């Protein structure tokens, strides 16, 4: 009968059982994270998360297989390519709807899902499972905690895309009429031909909630899109 340490060593080696276990675990971990995103109608749902996590696990297993059987290659190098390559999915999940930027949490979740898949693929089961639980709690439970701490910030920082530089004075006057003050403005050095982007500081003496401020700013003339920064 196999002892505990022998079972652990067996599961960390590449064999039929460990390969099936790792792919199955990647499906479960990715699916658990994707279910919540799917329920909130995000661009990436359960199947996307599962595919990202499984694909990352397969990449790491391929790296381990190459290193073990051919004594060449670096498993970490393949993993690094996954991390850099996941950016196209993250970018695709970030959208601008009615002058609001959405999908940042989904993009971050996809990146973490890829990292979890890499951990599973190399046999780091404990870390991958713990990370899955932590990420699931973060995206499901900590929204309420975040709202408590940030609901009534005195100073807010926002990234805003204006239609042109000329609309900023009118934007400032609209804030003053609402009882807010436009503070420091940091224009993006690399401006596009169609928009003027800037990071602005807004004073909120009336203690409006972030949601109220977001709705108000998105309705202003000349505002193409915006995102409140942490």
* DSSP labels, 19-86: HHHHHHHHHHHHHHHHHHHHHTT-SS-HHHHHHHHHHHHHHHHHHHHHHHHHS---HHHHHHHHHHHT
Q: Residue 13: CB partners within 8 Å, gap ≥ 6?
A: none
Average pLDDT, the chain: 82
Q: Tens digits of per-residue pLDDT, 86-142?
A: 877 766 666 554 445 567 778 888 899 999 999 999 889 999 999 999 999 888 887
Using CA atoms, how far residue 40 sits from 2, 34, 35, 111, in Å, is: 45, 10, 9, 18
CA dihedral 156, 157, 162, 165 (to 10 degrees): 100
| CA dist., res. 113 & res. 116, Å (int) | 5
pLDDT of residue 14: 80
Q: Tens digits of per-residue pLDDT, 186-220?
A: 887 777 777 888 888 888 877 777 788 888 888 88
| CA dist., res. 76 & res. 70, Å (int) | 16
Least confident of 5-9, 30-34, 212-216: 5-9
pLDDT of residue 185: 87
pLDDT of residue 131: 94
pLDDT of residue 94: 62
Task: Give me the residue spans of the domains in the chain.
Answer: 4-147, 155-229
pLDDT of residue 114: 92
pLDDT of residue 151: 56
Q: Are 29 and 129 in contact (CB under 8 A)?
A: yes
pLDDT of residue 25: 94
DSSP-derived secondary structure letter, 13: S
| CA dist., res. 228 & res. 158, Å (int) | 4
pLDDT of residue 99: 46
Q: Which residue has the higher pLDDT, 197 or 71?
A: 197
Q: Which of 2-6, 149-153, 158-162 has the highest mean pLDDT?
A: 158-162
In words, the CATH class of domain 155-229 is alpha beta
Average of pLDDT values for 151-175? 83
Percent of the chain with pLDDT over 70: 85
| CA dist., res. 191 & res. 201, Å (int) | 19
- At 227, which helix (H) or strand (E)? strand 223-229
The size of the chain, in residues, is: 230
Alpha helices in 71-124 (DSSP H): 75-85, 87-93, 104-122
DSSP-derived secondary structure letter, 24: H
| CA dist., res. 176 & res. 62, Å (int) | 59
- pLDDT of 38 > 80? The answer is no
Confidence class of residue 153 from pLDDT cuts 50, 70 and 90?
Answer: low
Give the predicted TM-score (pTM) of the model: 0.62
């Amino acid at each position: 009968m196999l002892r505990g340490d022998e079972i652990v060593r067996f599961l960390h080696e590449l064999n039929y059982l460990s390969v099936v276990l790792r792919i199955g675990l990647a499906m479960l971990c990715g699916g658990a994270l994707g279910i919540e995103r799917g329920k909130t109608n995000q661009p990436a749902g359960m199947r996307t998360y599962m595919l990202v996590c499984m694909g990352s696990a397969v990449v790491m297993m391929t790296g381990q297989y190459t290193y073990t059987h051919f004594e060449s290659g670096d498993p970490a190098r393949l993993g690094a390519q996954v991390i850099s390559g996941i950016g196209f999915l993250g970018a695709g999940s970030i959208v601008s709807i009615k002058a609001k930027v959405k999908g940042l949490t989904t993009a971050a979740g996809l990146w973490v899902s890829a990292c979890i898949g890499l951990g599973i693929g190399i046999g780091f089961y404990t870390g991958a499972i713990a990370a899955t639980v932590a990420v699931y709690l973060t995206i499901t439970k900590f929204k309420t905690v975040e709202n408590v701490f940030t609901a009534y910030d005195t100073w807010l920082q926002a990234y805003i895309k204006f239609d042109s530089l000329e609309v900023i004075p009118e934007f400032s006057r609209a804030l003053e009429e609402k009882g807010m003050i436009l503070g420091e403005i940091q224009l993006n050095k690399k401006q596009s031909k169609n928009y003027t982007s800037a990071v602005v500081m807004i004073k909120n003496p009336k203690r409006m909630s972030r949601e109220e401020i977001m709705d108000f700013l998105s309705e202003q003339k000349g505002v193409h899109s915006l995102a409140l920064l942490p």
